[in-house]
Amino acid sequence: MLTVADDVQGERTIRLVNDWGSADIALYGAQVHSWKNAEGAEYLFVSGRRYREAGKAVRGGIPVCWPWFGLHSADPSLGRHGFVRTLVWKPGPVCEIGDRTRIVLSCFDDDRTRVIWNFSFRLDLEITLGPSLDLVLYSTNMDSVAFELTDAFHAYFLVDSASRARISGFSGAECTDSRAGSGSAEAVWIGSGDVADLGSHVDRVYHCETASVLYGISAGGGVRLSKEGFPETVVWNPGPVLADALADLGSMEAGRMVCMEAVCGSPKTVAPGETVVQKMMLSPVF
């Protein structure tokens, strides 16, 4: 089932509902703001201090970072995480596939995007609500020349306490600590055991395509993140000091969130007419 309504901040939002739970998706950014189980318990974090501002993404949920992740490599003034988080996407029809509910949202280049990034593209995001929440991103080069992209599903999860949450699945994976100076001895190591102390400032890149599990979810148990086409997983929490410097977050809010993100951080070349397919699957763990 599908309903369409405006949320508390006036954003046009689509709600998918079935026996597995619900998912709320804003047309602004095609951003999943809520994913609840059948009992109504929430898996995703959205900041209570968020505000609506043109050109700004909502803090929380699952933002789509595209066509670059982090700062733009050639022009940092363009800001972080691309521009599709701030475009209004077009929804397609809803499909019921057995006990699952699916919708596809799309966005395209226009005069505004070509000023920032002068390529023609089509982006389709397929979202399926079932026993897992599955996101599939189709990036199509509609231009006559190749382009490069980096991207991510920047997922924010709601936890009882970030300081007590932990993540498993990174043993043996190379880890880069983005807080350490480039080339320092502390910048790169091999992961071992669970990742804990997630209430402090954490910004790590795990170079692996294996699944990871975040425990301490407020809905109970944990969430397993599986992925295809994303060679890295980023674990991030700003910690209380940095969070207090962010107008749309704050230290109290940051203590209830952990980001576990599916990331393609190395530039991928997309040929004219080519479509790159990437997937992230989120499954409850009991």
Q: CATH number, domain at 95?
A: 2.70.98.10
Cβ neighbourhood burial of 74 (10 Å; 0-12, 13-18, 19+): exposed
Backbone angles phi, psi at 86, to 5 degrees: -115, 15
Backbone angles phi, psi at 104, to 5 degrees: -120, 130
Instruction: Give the span between the Cα atoms of 18 and 275, in whole angstroms.
Output: 30
Domain count, the chain: 1
Confidence (pLDDT) at 120: 98
Residue 36 structural domain: 2-285
Instruction: Give the span between the Cα atoms of 44 and 154, in whole angstroms.
Output: 11
Confidence (pLDDT) at 172: 93
Confidence (pLDDT) at 252: 92
Confidence (pLDDT) at 54: 66
Confidence (pLDDT) at 218: 96
Instruction: Give the span between the Cα atoms of 14 and 249, in whole angstroms.
Output: 24
Confidence (pLDDT) at 90: 97
Give how far Cα 34 sits from Cα of 38, 51, 85, 155, 285, Å. Answer: 13, 16, 16, 11, 18
Confidence (pLDDT) at 1: 63
Confidence (pLDDT) at 191: 80
Active site residues: 154, 261
Confidence (pLDDT) at 186: 59
Cβ neighbors of 79 (< 8 A, separation 6 or more) are 71, 72
How far does Cα 235 stand from its chain's mean position?
11
**One-letter amino acid of 247:** A
Backbone angles phi, psi at 176, to 5 degrees: -110, 125
Tens place of pLDDT per residue across the chain (286 aa): 666 666 545 578 999 999 999 999 999 999 999 999 999 999 999 998 765 666 678 899 999 999 999 888 788 778 889 999 999 999 999 999 999 999 999 999 999 999 999 999 999 999 999 999 999 999 999 999 999 999 999 999 999 999 999 999 999 999 999 887 655 555 787 887 899 889 999 999 999 999 999 999 999 999 999 999 999 999 999 999 999 999 889 899 999 999 999 999 999 999 999 999 999 999 999 9
